[in-house]
Amino acid sequence: MLKLNLLQPAVAHLRDKLGLSPEEEEVALYGLKVIVYSTANLISVVLIGLLLNCLGPVLAATTAAGTLRLFSGGAHSRSPLICNILGMLVAGGLGKFSSLLAPRFSAPSLLFLVLLGGALAFLPFFFLAPVDSPNKPLTLEERKKMRRLSLLLFFIIISFQLGLLTLKGPPSWVLAISLGVWWQAFSLTRAGHGLATAIDKFFSLNEREVLRG
Amino acid sequence: MKRLVYRLLPAIFSFLALAAAIGVKPTCVFAWHQPEVPRALRK
């Protein structure tokens, strides 16, 4: 992967001007990465939503998967660029798929889909969450807390979907939220980890090809 | 201008430190890439 890293020089500038210690520099770099990667991800998702003319469903799927991910964790990609591309493809795909498919569903069949899909997605959340990253290992206490929070959020999201269905909200949003939840449940599984590894490998192979010329 | 920049820098650092402190709380960030948590923020 070609690297254009502007974050390190920006933090180095801050370190030089403020006389930061190495620990403070690391903290500032981590803070900057959290802000920049999250903002870049959100912007790319909004752009793909606008491009595919389905911003609402795209944001619904991203919000459902993203908020669940905060507590349940999941498979991780090695590079922020791969993560961004994957986020764009998945959010765009889920959003477009739900905006095309949802009008074909009647309210009862959508309700059935939400409940059945929710019951199936509950299993990975119950048995596997939280799945931490080697870059941010969790303590036992944190694991218990995150598990509780991810299950609570899971039920809040399903309740929100049921509320949307009752109030005759946009069916594409309801389906997009379900797809986001299923995608996040998938990322908790071994298959999700396998996919993340395969995508990482695919990009690093291409990198070698490019470098060889 | 230079004075303004020098006043802004500590505020920027505080903002980044706050983002790091908040960003380290959940299991991971909402995207598929988790930056490595600095030792100073690990318990």
* Long-range own/partner contacts, residues B2-10 (CB < 8 A, 24 or more apart): B6/A17, B9/A14, B9/A17, B9/A18, B10/A18
Q: For the segment B28-38, what is each residue's pLDDT rounded down to a tens digit?
A: 877 778 888 88
Query: Mind telling me how many Å the CA of A107 is from chain B's nearest CA?
Result: 30
What is the domain range of residue B10? 2-41
CB contact under 8 A, A71 and B26: yes
Query: Mind telling me how many Å the CA of B37 is from chain A's nearest CA?
Result: 6
CB contact under 8 A, A26 and B15: no
Number of domains in chain B: 1
In B, what residues contact A, Cβ < 8 A? 6, 9-10, 12-13, 15-24, 26-41, 43
Q: For the segment A3-16, what is each residue's pLDDT rounded down to a tens digit?
A: 557 888 899 988 98
> What value of ipTM does the predicted structure carry?
0.89
CB-nearest to B31 from A41, A135, A196 is A41
Instruction: Going residue by residue through chain A, which has 213 residues, state the pLDDT in tens, using 9 for 90 and above.
Output: 445 578 888 999 889 888 889 999 999 999 999 999 999 999 999 999 999 999 999 999 999 999 999 999 888 888 888 888 888 999 999 999 999 999 999 999 999 999 999 999 999 999 998 998 888 888 899 899 999 999 999 999 999 999 999 998 899 999 999 999 999 999 999 999 898 888 888 877 666 555 554
CB contact under 8 A, A32 and B40: no
Q: What is the pTM of this model?
A: 0.87
Burial annotation A25-41 (CB, 10 A radius, 16+ → b, else e): bbbbbbbbbbbbbbebb
CB contact under 8 A, A28 and B17: yes
